[in-house]
Amino acid sequence: MEKASFKEKSSIAKMVGTIVSLVGALVVVLYHGPRVFTPSSPPFQELHQLLPPLSSSNSDWIIGGCLLAIKDTLVPVAFILQAHIMKIYPAPFTVSFFYFLIASILTSLIGIVAEENNPSIWIIHFDITLVCIVVGGIFNPGYYAIHLWAVRNKGPVYLAIFRPLSILIAVIMGAIFLGDLFYLGSLVGGILISLGFYTVMWGKAKEEKTQLLSLSEEAPLLIKNIDDQI
C-alpha cells in the first residue's frame, strides 16, 4: 500500500501530482474557452450516425451526474480492495473471471428490473450493439487481468493516476477521428494532466529507487548475522 509522508520528496511529488492531474481533468470537463483547433474534414464522420443522440431532460443529466460522482468515489475504494485481494490471492485471471461472472449476474438482474416492461430490449441485432458486446467480451477480461497485475505490483496510486490521462486521450481522439472541437480548456487541462502524471511517475520511481537502495544496504547485514549464527 501507498504511504504518505511530508518528509519525503517522493511522497510529496505523488500527492502534488495527483492534485494537479485532478485539477486538469476538471478544467477539461468544466471549462471550454475559445476554440483552438477546428477539424475541416474528420476521417470518421460517419461514426456520428451510429451514436445515439445526446438530448435528454435536465433531471436525467442531474441523475447521471450524481451516479458518475458515486462511481468515481467508489473506484478508489475498489483499487484499495483489489490491492488487498491480490496480496491474499495473487491470481489475476481467476479474480478477473469471478469479477466478470458476478458483474454479469448483477447487471442482468438490474436489467430485468429496470426493463421489465420492455422485453424487446434483450433482442440482439446485427449492428454496432453486437460489435460492442463481442469486443467487450474479448478485451475486458484481459484488460482487467492487466489492471489487477498493475495494482499488485505498482499499487493503487499508480493505476489511478492514469484515469485523468484517459480524459485527455478521449478529447484528442474525438478531435482527430470524430471531428469534435478542441477548446483552450482542453489544452490547458491536458498540460496540467500531463504535468501531474509525470510528477507522480517521478515520485513513484524515486520511491522505488529508495526502497531498492535500502534493501541493498540491509542485505550485507543479514548475511553477516547469518554467518555469525553459523
CA distance 51 to 171: 16
pLDDT of residue 51: 55
> C-alpha angle with apex 24: 22 to 27, nearest 5 degrees?
115
* Residue that wins the pLDDT comparison between 6 and 130: 130
**Percent with pLDDT over 90 in the chain:** 0
Q: Is the pTM of this model over 0.85?
A: no
Dump pLDDT digits (tens) for 50-100.
555 555 555 576 777 677 767 767 777 777 787 788 788 888 878 878 888
Which pLDDT score, from 0 to 100, does residue 173 have? 81
Query: What pLDDT score was predicted for residue 100?
Result: 81
Residue 220 corresponds to which cell in the numbers above? Answer: 550485507
Q: Fill in the DSSP letter of residue 25.
A: H
Q: What whole-number distance in Å separates Cα of residue 201 and Cα of residue 173?
A: 24
Burial class from Cβ neighbours inside 10 Å (0-12, 13-18, 19+) for residue 190 reads: buried
d(CA 186, CA 91): 39
Cell of 90: 495473487
pLDDT, one tens digit per residue, over 134-167 is 888 888 877 777 877 887 777 777 777 777 777 7
Task: Write down the residue that cell numbers 471531428 correspond to.
Answer: 179
pLDDT per residue over 74-84, tens digit each? 777 777 787 78
Partners of residue 182 on adjacent β-strands: 37
Alpha-carbon torsion, ordered 51, 54, 55, 57, to 10 deg: 130
| Start-to-end Cα distance in the chain | 36
- H or E stretch covering 109: helix 92-114
